[in-house]
Amino acid sequence: MKTIQLSLTTVGWKESLSTIDIKPNLCILFISPHFTRKNEVLDFLNKSFPDAIFIGCSTAGEISGVTVKDETVSLTAIEFEKTQLKKVSVKVQDKECSFKAGKTIASKLKKDNLKHVIVLSDGLNVNGAELVSGLKSKIPDVSITGGLAADGADFNETFVIDNEGLFDKTIVGLGLYGESLKVGFSSKGGWDSFGIERLVTKSKDNVLYELDGQPALKIYKSYLGEEAKNLPGSGLLFPLSMRTLGREEPLVRSILNVDEDDQSLTFAGNIPEGSYVRLMKANADRLIDGAKDSAESALKSAKKAQLAILISCVGRRLVLKQLVEEEVEVIRETIGDIPNITGFYSYGEIAPFQEFSPCELHNQTMTITTLLEC
């Protein structure tokens, strides 16, 4: 397995691509929505590497090495020597199609030697929790990692990258096959809960209507104080911790939208009735510690790596601000100098908490996937 990591800008991108001196069979591209040469880059790559698979998505910030940038492309060219690849893309009409789309992708990728699946999804028109449930229904014993495409903090329009171009309302799944591939993964947060735990008394999928029998938005605003006037954007700074009976670790859910008319909150993942939620807040030190914990946990799954794919939440970036690169730097210190690092800031992260845990949709986490071919 050979990898080349590049950070492309609108000036000099063609010269940078011309330095690729391997024969990649996979290119991963995390592209800023504001990068103006998207189609030109894809056309150049298609002509230069006609046999390669291209996957990727839009971002709320691009990770390349230990840098976090905007208006760039984080490109990873990978030449696998023993691992087989298969890509599947599915178009969805709306969020109601999410579970079926996950089942379809998993069914098409399922084979005896399927080692791992990477999934990248539209971030606004897909219910990430239902997507993950659909994937797990067909490949319950296969590790799955990935994330939801982002659009900065605008929540306006996201896209997924396929060989044929850039598409919204699309989910791409990549199957990696063979015993020569070693995969590590983890997902950790670093947020602190506060306030009392409340019972979800009315919800439908990812829309929360009532807590303890009271309007959800009214209760949520009472905790936010002055920040309530900045909703839904300020909701990224105050996610919910969700606990369901029988689950060992709580999941974190980020707010995507609010509805003043019915006093509801819309989240990136499901909030089932009967679950318990608490508000969360963060400080920079705890988030950076969470990134370090994620890196250490990923190393337990696979001791060495040639590539690390980082998917972190846009909410973490909003909290960390100018310190954002510190959560990438602490991962570099933990995993060592050898692996190339790529990644993006997302609207949702898909991964198990750690080895032997089931795959889940997360928000506000640093998710790490490491790859090693041996």
Tell me: do 51 and 138 sit in the same domain: yes
Tell me: do 230 and 357 sit in the same domain: no
Tell me: do 366 and 302 sit in the same domain: yes
Question: If pLDDT is split at 50, 70 and 90, which confidence band does 248 have?
Answer: low
pTM over 0.85: yes
Tell me: do 311 and 354 sit in the same domain: yes
Is the per-residue pLDDT at 255 higher than 90?
no
Distances, alpha carbon 362 to alpha carbons 158, 226, 349, in Å: 18, 27, 5
What pLDDT, on a 0 to 100 scale, did the predictor assign at position 246? 65
- Segment 277-304 shows an average pLDDT of 89
Q: Which domain holds residue 229?
A: 192-280
Tell me: do 174 and 214 sit in the same domain: no
Contact 368, 353 (CB under 8 A): no
- Segment 14-18 shows an average pLDDT of 95
Tell me: do 77 and 125 sit in the same domain: yes
What pLDDT, on a 0 to 100 scale, did the predictor assign at position 335? 95
Tell me: do 109 and 38 sit in the same domain: yes
Tell me: do 204 and 221 sit in the same domain: yes
Lowest mean pLDDT among 84-88, 157-161, 262-266, 354-358: 354-358
DSSP-based three-state secondary structure for 22:
coil
Is the per-residue pLDDT at 247 higher than 80?
no
Question: If pLDDT is split at 50, 70 and 90, which confidence band does 105 have?
Answer: very high
Is the per-residue pLDDT at 104 higher than 80?
yes
Contact 307, 370 (CB under 8 A): yes
Lowest mean pLDDT among 49-53, 185-189, 205-209, 245-249: 245-249
What pLDDT, on a 0 to 100 scale, did the predictor assign at position 180? 94
Mean of the per-residue pLDDT values of the chain: 93
Q: Which of 39-43, 189-193, 224-228 has the highest mean pLDDT?
A: 39-43
Bridge partner list, 333: none
Q: Which residue has better confidence, 82 or 153? A: 82
Is the per-residue pLDDT at 18 higher than 80?
yes
Last residue of a domain, one of 255, 280, 305: 280
Tell me: do 52 and 159 sit in the same domain: yes
What pLDDT, on a 0 to 100 scale, did the predictor assign at position 269? 83
Tell me: do 58 and 159 sit in the same domain: yes
What domain count does the chain have? 2
Tell me: do 113 and 161 sit in the same domain: yes
pLDDT digits (tens, 9 = 90+) for 181-222: 999 999 999 888 888 999 999 999 999 999 999 999 999 999
- Give one DSSP letter per residue of 195-234, joined into a string: EEEEEEEEEETTEEEEETTEEHHHHHHHHHGGGGGGTTGG
Contacts of 313 (CB under 8 A, 6+ apart): 236, 254, 345, 346, 347, 348, 349, 362, 363, 364, 365, 366
Question: If pLDDT is split at 50, 70 and 90, which confidence band does 279 have?
Answer: very high
What pLDDT, on a 0 to 100 scale, did the predictor assign at position 307? 97
Lowest mean pLDDT among 169-173, 209-213, 306-310, 315-319: 315-319
Contact 75, 309 (CB under 8 A): no
What pLDDT, on a 0 to 100 scale, did the predictor assign at position 356? 66
- Segment 292-297 shows an average pLDDT of 94
What pLDDT, on a 0 to 100 scale, did the predictor assign at position 352? 87
Using CA atoms of 268, 154, 54, 181 in order, give the dihedral in degrees to the nearest 10.
-40
Is the per-residue pLDDT at 92 higher than 90?
yes
Last residue of a domain, one of 223, 247, 280: 280
What pLDDT, on a 0 to 100 scale, did the predictor assign at position 220? 93
Last residue of a domain, one of 280, 313, 348: 280
Tell me: do 257 and 330 sit in the same domain: no
Using CA atoms of 333, 342, 321, 250 in order, give the dihedral in degrees to the nearest 10.
-80
CATH of the domain at 253: 2.40.10
